[in-house]
Amino acid sequence: MNYQKSLKLIQKYSECPNCGNDKVGNGQGTLDINDDTFIRTCKCGCTVKVKGDENKCTY
Ligand SMILES: [Zn+2]
C-alpha cells in the first residue's frame, strides 16, 4: 500500500467509526498496514479492514 493511501486511511480512521475512540496502542486498539491491507482494530470490537478499495467495519 503506498504511503499516500495509507496516510489518507490513517486520517480517515483515526477515530473508530463505531465508538469514536481515537487511540491505538496501550490496549485501546491496533493499527496494521502491510502491502495491500490496512487494518484498524478497536477495543470495542470493531475492525476496519481496507483492502484495495473495499472498506468495511466488522464486529
Ligand atoms: Zn471502537
- How many other C-beta atoms can be found within 10 angstroms of the C-beta atom of residue 51? 12
**Are residues 25 and 39 in contact, defined by beta-carbon separation less than 8 angstroms?**
no
pLDDT tens-digit readout, 5-58: 899 999 999 999 999 999 999 999 999 999 889 999 999 999 999 987 667 777
- Per domain, the residue ranges of the chain are 3-17+25-58
The C-alpha cell of 33 is what?
498496514
Give the residue from 49, 43, 44 showing the smallest Cα distance to 27.
Answer: 43
Q: Look up the pTM and report it.
A: 0.84
Give the residue from 3, 8, 4, 21 showing the smallest Cα distance to 55.
Answer: 8
CA of 18 to the centre of ligand 1 (A): 5
CA of 29 to the centre of ligand 1 (A): 8
The C-alpha cell of 52 is what?
484495495
